[in-house]
């Protein structure tokens, strides 16, 4: 066994279980209504004959499907929330992991699914989260997501690719260690800005082959030295290009320490993003209890979104205090090292949970997130000034469902030309563990 420090694996297993990667491996499940798409590979015997076996969960009447392609669609299942189990076996009897799935309608196009009791990623987590999306120079779309559990290490992400504008998705690779990652392209190179694990190192990796293989991660700043207390925290927020620099928000703090500070990272447009010394970090700006809406439980803003403000400065908008408000700071355009300055706490209809704001080429700001107070209504708003917002539409409105059981949340989006938005949702539906502990990542198209 040789040393290996790259971030991409197909698939990733802990070193004491690495041999399991040579069995048949189911790398993607995508149930949609009464259908199921299954993608798989077998690095141990790629040319052997393989068969898919499936049955109702707990049943013994297994049906078989001979496999000739690396992706197969099964149809004809009832849509009334029935649970099934499946595995793939090669001709010598070697089997994949047993996977679980449930039928049922879900909004959008399913990219990937993980049943809340499926053991596939039990060594790192149980639920899907943190979607990010990017379009490559060759036109392909890439979607990333991570796997988490409250007590898990939170350091595995999954990457999928579409070569037909989101109609179909295929597995690309596992990424490790990688959490809360943002995909972006810069000067023809694909990058993934992320943290190594919850409160861990800020790091970045790059790919020159469309996301299949990735470099070793370059550490930009070391993270927490006190586990589960305080360190780098973020969501997959946009990396924006403006005035000759790239800009992206970062948080420093922790739920357990009851405090979060705001940071803005930036780098000269011509500098190499893989070199740590090229990045500039503002000194963390701590939360101030004197700010408007700063109640006793206000820990500070989190999941900041860098955006160019109407006055030409770079601002960061942060989710704030579980309320329909946003905490907003601005930077000093003459000195990227200078601390952020408080701008305002402004009314914002989606400020209680993660949102994403991007500026359209016509100058209009669009924001996707959850209309207050729950996460079962995913909405799109627009503004001319980042302060006054009007509803464009509810992208997915599941207010008919329990807010504790259904969530279409943590959106990530991009503009597809001038008249369309392509969006990913961290989706909990069809008997997810909870609204928060999502079992899907779904793809949505929104005309403007």
**CB-based contact 74:64 (threshold 8 Å):** no
Read off the pLDDT of each residue in 222-244 and give the average, rounded to a whole number: 88
User: Would you say how long the chain is, in residues?
Assistant: 448
pLDDT in tens, 375-392: 999 999 999 999 999 999
User: What Rg value do the Cα atoms of the chain yield, rounded?
Assistant: 22
| Segment (H or E) for 415 | strand 407-415
8-102: CATH superfamily: Immunoglobulins (2.60.40.10)
CA dist., res. 125 & res. 147, Å (int): 5
pLDDT in tens, 132-145: 999 999 999 999 99
CA dist., res. 39 & res. 25, Å (int): 9
Confidence of residue 293 (pLDDT cuts 50, 70, 90): low
Domains of the chain, by residue range, sit at: 8-102
40 three-state secondary structure: strand
Read off the pLDDT of each residue in 249-275 and give the average, rounded to a whole number: 93
The yes-or-no verdict on residue 297 having pLDDT over 80 is no
Instruction: Give the pLDDT of residue 325.
Output: 93
pLDDT in tens, 100-130: 999 999 999 999 999 999 999 999 999 999 9
Name the nearest CA neighbour of 248 among 316, 306, 301: 306
Instruction: Give the pLDDT of residue 227.
Output: 61
Q: What is the dihedral of CA 197, 195, 31, 53, to 10 degrees?
A: -50
Confidence of residue 427 (pLDDT cuts 50, 70, 90): very high
CA dist., res. 275 & res. 295, Å (int): 40
Query: What is this structure's pTM?
Result: 0.97
18 three-state secondary structure: helix
Read off the pLDDT of each residue in 164-178 and give the average, rounded to a whole number: 98
């Amino acid at each position: 066994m040789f040393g290996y420090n790259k971030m991409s694996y197909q698939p990733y297993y802990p070193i004491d279980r690495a041999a399991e990667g040579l069995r048949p491996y189911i790398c993607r499940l995508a149930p949609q209504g009464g259908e199921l798409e299954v993608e798989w590979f077998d690095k141990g015997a790629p040319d052997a004959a393989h068969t898919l076996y499936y049955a109702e969960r707990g049943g013994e009447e297994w049906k078989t499907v001979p496999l000739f392609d690396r992706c197969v669609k099964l149809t004809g299942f009832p849509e009334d929330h029935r649970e099934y189990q499946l595995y793939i076996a090669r001709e010598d009897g070697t089997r994949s992991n047993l996977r679980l799935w449930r039928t049922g309608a879900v909004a959008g196009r399913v990219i990937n699914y993980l049943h809340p009791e499926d053991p596939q990623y039990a060594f790192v987590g149980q639920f899907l989260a943190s979607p990010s999306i990017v379009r490559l120079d060759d036109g392909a779309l890439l979607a990333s997501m991570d796997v988490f559990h409250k007590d898990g290490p939170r350091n595995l992400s999954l990457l999928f690719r579409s070569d037909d504008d989101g109609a179909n998705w295929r597995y690309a690779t596992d990424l490790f260690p990688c959490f809360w990652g943002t995909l972006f392209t810069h000067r023809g190179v694909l990058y993934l800005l992320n943290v190594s694990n919850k409160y861990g190192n800020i790091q970045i990796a790059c790919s020159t082959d469309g996301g299949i293989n990735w470099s070793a991660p370059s550490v930009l700043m070391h993270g927490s030295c006190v586990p589960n207390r305080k360190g780098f925290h973020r969501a997959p927020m946009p990396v924006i290009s403006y005035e000759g620099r790239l800009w992206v928000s970062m948080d420093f703090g922790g739920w357990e320490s009851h405090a979060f500070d705001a940071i803005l990272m930036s780098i000269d447009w011509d500098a190499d993003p893989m070199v740590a010394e090229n990045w500039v970090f503002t000194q963390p700006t701590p939360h101030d209890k004197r700010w408007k809406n700063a109640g006793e439980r206000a820990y500070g803003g989190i999941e900041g979104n860098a955006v160019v403000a109407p006055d030409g400065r770079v601002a960061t908008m942060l989710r704030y205090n579980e309320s329909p408000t946003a905490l907003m700071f601005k930077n000093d355009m003459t000195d990227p090292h200078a601390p952020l300055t408080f701008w305002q706490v402004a009314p914002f209809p989606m400020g209680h949970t993660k949102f994403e704001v991007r500026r359209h080429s016509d100058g209009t700001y669009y924001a996707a997130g959850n209309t207050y107070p729950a996460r079962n209504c995913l909405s799109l708003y627009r503004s001319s000034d980042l302060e006054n917002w009007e509803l464009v539409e509810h992208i997915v409105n599941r207010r008919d469902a329990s807010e504790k059981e259904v969530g279409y949340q943590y959106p990530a989006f991009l503009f597809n030309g001038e008249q369309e938005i392509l969006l990913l949702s961290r989706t909990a539906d069809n008997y997810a563990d909870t609204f928060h502990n999502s079992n899907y990542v779904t793809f949505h198209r929104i005309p403007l």
